[in-house]
Amino acid sequence: MIVGLGNPGDKYKDTRHNTGFLVIEKLAAYHSIKIKEESRLYLSGKGKISGEDVMLAMPVTYMNRSGDGVRELMRYYRLLPSDLVLVYDDLDLEAGQIRIKTQGGSGGHNGCASVIAAIGTEDFIRIRVGIGRPEGRVDVVGYVLSKFPRAEVPLIETAVESAVDAVRMIVGNDIVAAMNKYN
């Protein structure tokens, strides 16, 4: 199950904090997976990537409660934490970079923290997509909820493509190659 984090609604579309949704949408488009509302907690769709059955999902409970939808999906489909790949934005990476981890804390990301709390473990794969940290004394909440400036759009598009490629490698059981390539 590949889960991208973000906030629902047009107000948040294409904002920094919705980078996880951008990755899921790109994966769905490339692999002809239809994403639809499955519950009040998430949108999801099933298909194949790298010859493997996958589920793509986007929690629609807002970032700070993302874990609710992830927990419901994992319970319903009887998935283990090792079946989860979580994709989300990261302030501490430069715009356009990605990093892959197999475990660890939330790094201060409220959506990841919600997932950890909801499923009771930090042991799952995560792909962090860099959105850069604002310069000076900029309000971080306002920054992550803002759209990318035109100059950063190519960097983010490249990062989304890299995250899509990393998902394909991970689903194809080659997480080491994905980490070597992108870390």
Both tokens of residue 44?
A: 């999801």
The one-letter code for the residue type at 136 is G
Which residue in 3, 7, 12, 17 is the catalytic one?
17
CA distances from 153 to 61, 80, 166, 167 (A): 26, 35, 20, 21
Question: What is the pairing mode between strands 36-39 and 2-4?
Answer: unpaired
Q: Which of 52, 49, 89, 55 is nearest to 73 (CA)?
A: 55
Length of the chain: 183
* Active-site residue, 17 included: yes
What would the DSSP string read from start to end of 32-62? TPPPEEEETTEEEEEEEETTEEEEEEEE-S-
Active site residues: 17
